[in-house]
Structure 1
């Protein structure tokens, strides 16, 4: 269960107390505002605030005073142009704030994206909940032999269950010891010291505020098929939110970022030679073996959205 009854009551109270505003709002975002979308076994992601919409991107690009009278198709065309030519500042005019509950090891990957404001639950001030991430059986996988930071195929069921047993045993034991050390009638250890005993699959929470440009950079990397599954599922849920918030921007993002590849100058030379009818192999391509494999993988890859 990702949310407690108290948390759900708090969210319901927020949703039933709408605020009047003169600023532009997005009906689809107003519908999902505060709503938690459950991720993994105990995690969630929800929007707690946002500023701007597709119109704000267009307004910033044209530096106009109002929303204008241009057709929606013209605005969408401008957004596609901005995305295609990697103009970033108009997208920085929009911001969004998420409340995320996630395992500590996922948070440590996530925090590498530094262009955001973050306020994390303080284990110096409060006691972390007894909640640990345990992967589904089909996500308990062997180390990849070709990628030092990736997975290969799932382990057989018996081995996977043994891994889950060890993960649960260790997390539970460490949390038991955490409580023992914190006990004011016993050791009474400071919270800032006791927390070091917790395992990395313990859940934490934070507020994460980011502008639209940097959100898309995060999503382009973390929704990629090569990203770790546990962070990718958060990114995929956030892409659904992106579509509700800025549909024209989301469509351009899918077209020019998620569904696109970048070829090096050397790769483009090979493609031009092929188009000219030349038989080009790895040996006479000028590319390294890894570059050759990567180029062909991009050419053979299916479009991620059909």
Structure 2
């Protein structure tokens, strides 16, 4: 189960004791506080705390403008200007703290975003639960023949069943051995010391679940979401990013709309790619050979033009 009974009891107790505050409050985000959003088979994302809202972004931006300039443009227009011109510091005035339960191999991708504060559940002194990520059949894919770090078509029939059985049996066998190593009850009923938990954990597979608290400002969160909510991101981290996107859209709706437009829905082009677009607009038939791009660059350029025009 995603939440343990103890965690659920703590959440219920906290939700039953709301307190008044004079700080800025986002009504959209308030509904997410202490509610776990299920992700994958055993994972979740939940908001622990947040600071700031759309107004906080504008307040920070206008500090340098001086008194009397607030009427120059409305808040959403200002936020769109800031996003469009890559002004980052006003977005750093908002922060969010999340509680995330996720497979270890997803956590290893996630932790590459080093602009956050993280505290992870420690398997040095706590025992990990017997919970493993086992993909649904529709997410058992072959290796892509185009992208070395991507997926191809879905495996089917006997091959898919064989892979799923290997994943399940290996996970459970590893956990059985993990329990046996840390146990103080020997195989013959005798007492034994048991292996240290910090050593026994190394035998567990990368699909075992871990948990952490992850605190990040909005600018760096948008960077995370731009990469991980992208259609090309690995499915197992993308579903977490999608869940967070829904929360951020309720928290800072104007900022999220700008992010969705300029980052998620936008595209960055090289000088060569932009030159090709200009030539195409003039009616020229541009090919990979005349573009000045490599085959890989040209393929990605074509994908951008096709995806964004659909």
What TM-score range do you get, normalising by the shorter chain? over 0.9
Note the aligned Cα RMSD (angstroms).
2.0
- Asked if residue 193 in structure 1 is aligned to residue 199 in structure 2, the reply is yes
Q: Which shifted more, 102-111 or 274-283?
A: 274-283
Displacement of 1:158 in angstroms is 2.0
Query: 187, 205, 226: which one pairs with 1:220?
Result: 226
Query: 264, 281, 291: which one pairs with 1:285?
Result: 291
Displacement of 1:280 in angstroms is 1.9
Q: Deviations over 1:83-139 (max 9, x none)?
A: 001100000011000000000000000000000000000000100011000000010
Query: 200, 210, 213: which one pairs with 1:207?
Result: 213
Within 5 Å, give how 1:35-114 maps onto structure 2: 35-63=35-63, 74-114=74-114
Displacement of 1:161 in angstroms is 1.6
Within 5 Å, give how 1:153-164 maps onto structure 2: 153-164=153-164
TM-score (norm 1): 0.95
Would the aligned equivalents of 1:137 and 1:157 in 2 still touch at CA under 8 Å? no
Q: Deviations over 1:21-62 (max 9, x none)?
A: 110001121111010000000000000000000000000000
Q: Deviations over 1:192-224 (max 9, x none)?
A: 001001011000000000000000000000011
Alpha-carbon spacing, 1:187–1:167, altered in 2? closer, same or farther (3 Å): farther
What is the alpha-carbon distance in structure 1 between the residues aligned to residue 242 and residue 69 of structure 2? 34
Would the aligned equivalents of 2:150 and 2:234 in 1 still touch at CA under 8 Å? yes
- Asked if residue 131 in structure 1 is aligned to residue 122 in structure 2, the reply is no
1:301 is paired with a residue of what secondary structure?
helix
After TM superposition, what 4+ stretches of structure 1 lie above 3 angstroms from structure 2? 68-71
Count of residues in correspondence between the two structures: 304
Q: Which shifted more, 269-278 or 49-58?
A: 269-278
Within 5 Å, give how 1:107-186 maps onto structure 2: 107-185=107-185, 186=192
Would the aligned equivalents of 1:219 and 1:239 in 2 still touch at CA under 8 Å? yes
TM-score (norm 2): 0.94
Would the aligned equivalents of 1:180 and 1:187 in 2 still touch at CA under 8 Å? no
What is the alpha-carbon distance in structure 2 between the residues aligned to residue 69 and residue 242 of structure 1? 28
What is the alpha-carbon distance in structure 1 between the residues aligned to residue 251 and residue 70 of structure 2? 20
Would the aligned equivalents of 1:115 and 1:210 in 2 still touch at CA under 8 Å? yes
Q: Deviations over 1:223-273 (max 9, x none)?
A: 111110000000000000000100000000000000011110001111111
- Asked if residue 262 in structure 1 is aligned to residue 268 in structure 2, the reply is yes
Q: Deviations over 1:114-171 (max 9, x none)?
A: 0000000000010001100000001011011111111101101321121111111111
Query: 265, 279, 284: which one pairs with 1:273?
Result: 279
What is the alpha-carbon distance in structure 1 between the residues aligned to residue 54 and residue 201 of structure 2? 43
What is the alpha-carbon distance in structure 2 between the residues aligned to residue 192 and residue 111 of structure 1? 20
Would the aligned equivalents of 1:181 and 1:187 in 2 still touch at CA under 8 Å? no
Counterpart of 2:304 in structure 1 is 298
Would the aligned equivalents of 1:117 and 1:209 in 2 still touch at CA under 8 Å? yes
Counterpart of 1:20 in structure 2 is 20
What is the alpha-carbon distance in structure 2 between the residues aligned to residue 89 and residue 239 of structure 1? 20
Task: Please list every run of 5 or more consecutive structure 1 residues that lacks an aligned counterpart in the other structure.
Answer: none
Task: Please list every run of 5 or more consecutive structure 2 residues that lacks an aligned counterpart in the other structure.
Answer: 186-191
